[in-house]
Amino acid sequence: MKSFLTTLGLGLSLTLSSFGQAAKHVVLISIDGFRPDFYREAKWPTPNLQRMAAQGTSANGVRGVFPSVTYPSHTTLITGVAPAQHGIYYNSPFEPDGATGRWYWEESLIKTPTLWDAVHQAGLKSASVQWPVSVGAPIDYNVPEFWSLDKNVDRLTPIRQQTTPKGLFEEIELNATGKLTARDMSSDYVSEDENDSRIAAYLLETYKPALLTWHVFGVDHAEHQDGRDGEHVRRALATADWAVGNVLEALAKAGIDKETAVIVTGDHGFVDINTTLAPNVVLAQNGLYNAEKGNWKAQFHTSGAAAFLMLKDKKDKKTTAQVRALLAKLPADQQKLFRVVERAELDQIGADPNAVLALAPALGVSMSAAREGNLVRPGKGGTHGFFPDNDQIKTGFIGFGPGFEAGKVIPQMRLQDVAPRAASLLGLSWPTTSKAESKTTTSQLTDNKTNRDK
């Protein structure tokens, strides 16, 4: 374990005197759209986060992955590797014949071992609330993030159906939240984060898992609407801070606060948007991307503020050259809106190996998947997905409790550093088996949990 951690080279081990177990429990909280200024600047309504940063270890910035969007970022948080390795390249997979609306929901799609695998292999308990790509994961108490493609199905029913073990969601409603409705679990309302915090608190107090992962997503929703600042952002952030406080209080109630390390981090920062670019318009106008299914040679798969070039024939060098030429012929005022990220740089950052190249927009510019209309159009609100080379898109990190030095500041770190850090706090060896070998079915997990509880 020590040799694995020291390869990171970012000084995270300085907060521990050794690589032995520092905590009996780890709570890993991801606040979607989390930014360092939320705990560095007193103007934000975050008393809990600011106190944790002052009394624990915090980072000035955490470099993300590309694209800097929720699902690949959260999978990096739980695996310690880049998207090219773990296989969750975007929020939604590239679908050549048109997007169906599905996302990367199932944990079986992850190609590399996870923190959940490490905990399970050690015979310990884990719990999770609304974590992306967690459906069917080897988690003892799992309330995953999931929704139906059927628009007639409400947002709550699929969560109920995928929660494991069977009956856990009803147990939570009976003992922690009261009867929940689809509106109670909607990111349109800040109360969703409050309700999720009650679920997380109940799981901590009742089952005392070695690891709890929890995704807080109201801040992201607000920043998409308002940009980096605004009334909705401040309300959502205040609620997220309150929700974190609920979990801290639950640890105290459970009598495990002194032996629990709490990590608060995120997936990406946010950038204010004033312009939208639709690169598929250029392809459609030049006969490379027609609306008819199957009738295309090239198309851009957009992901937040980024676009990735896909070819129908991956060896079609002629089409690749044509796309490059079309981009190079754009007027200077349009070319300045983005830069081309070539395959070598995509390999270096660990992005989707299937993309020929990508377009990384300038700050203030987002991408659209539209094939018709203007190439350049107005934009508003905020978004992410940018190449992680600027401070605005970096996320934050706070480590609080055993294993973290009070007042310690880490200048910069990476999303890849979080999973091995959490594992080291628990004294766990990183999974060395293949993903297939470390897989466990939900029924097996239930049996194992029952046997351990006897």
CATH number at residue 334: 3.30.1360
Q: For residue range 100-118, what is the model confidence (pLDDT) as tens digits?
A: 999 999 999 999 999 999 9
Q: What confidence category does residue 436 fall into, taking pLDDT thresholds of 50, 70 and 90?
A: low
| Cβ pair 39, 399 in contact under 8 A | no
Q: For residue range 135-155, what is the model confidence (pLDDT) as tens digits?
A: 999 999 999 999 999 989 998
| Cβ pair 310, 288 in contact under 8 A | no
- What is the C-alpha separation between 387 and 102, in angstroms, rounded? 24
- What is the C-alpha separation between 149 and 102, in angstroms, rounded? 7
pLDDT of residue 2: 29
Pairs from 139-147 (Cβ < 8 Å, separation ≥ 24) = 139/164, 139/445, 140/165, 140/207, 140/209, 140/445, 140/449, 141/165, 141/168, 141/203, 141/207, 141/209, 142/168, 143/168, 143/169, 143/172, 143/199, 144/105, 145/105, 145/215, 146/105
**Residue ranges making up the domain that contains 192:** 2-270+390-453
Same-domain status, 259 and 364: no
Residue type, 222: A
pLDDT of residue 190: 83
The dihedral over CA atoms of 212, 218, 223, 226, expressed in degrees to the nearest 10, equals -170
Among 355, 379, 403, the domain-final residue is 379
Same-domain status, 52 and 143: yes
Provide the pairing of β-strand 365-367 with 298-303.
unpaired
Same-domain status, 289 and 236: no
Among 379, 404, 421, the domain-final residue is 379
Same-domain status, 12 and 118: yes
Q: What confidence category does residue 216 fall into, taking pLDDT thresholds of 50, 70 and 90?
A: very high
Same-domain status, 281 and 266: no
pLDDT of residue 184: 85
Total of domains in the chain: 2
384 falls within a domain = no
Residue 313 has pLDDT above 80, yes or no: yes
Same-domain status, 316 and 439: no
Same-domain status, 238 and 327: no
Same-domain status, 71 and 200: yes
Encoding tokens for residue 204?
């901590």
CATH number of the domain enclosing 245: 3.40.720.10
Quickly count helices (H) and strands (E) in the chain.
Answer: 18, 19
pLDDT of residue 191: 86
Same-domain status, 351 and 204: no
pLDDT of residue 83: 98
Residue 15 has pLDDT above 70, yes or no: no
Residue 433 has pLDDT above 80, yes or no: no
Q: What is the overall mean pLDDT for the chain?
A: 91
Same-domain status, 123 and 250: yes
Q: What confidence category does residue 434 fall into, taking pLDDT thresholds of 50, 70 and 90?
A: low
Among 379, 411, 434, the domain-final residue is 379
pLDDT of residue 113: 97
Same-domain status, 367 and 403: no
Q: For residue range 388-429, what is the model confidence (pLDDT) as tens digits?
A: 999 999 999 999 999 999 999 999 999 999 999 999 999 998
168 falls within a domain = yes
293 falls within a domain = yes
385 falls within a domain = no
Q: For residue range 68-77, what is the model confidence (pLDDT) as tens digits?
A: 999 999 999 9
Same-domain status, 440 and 308: no
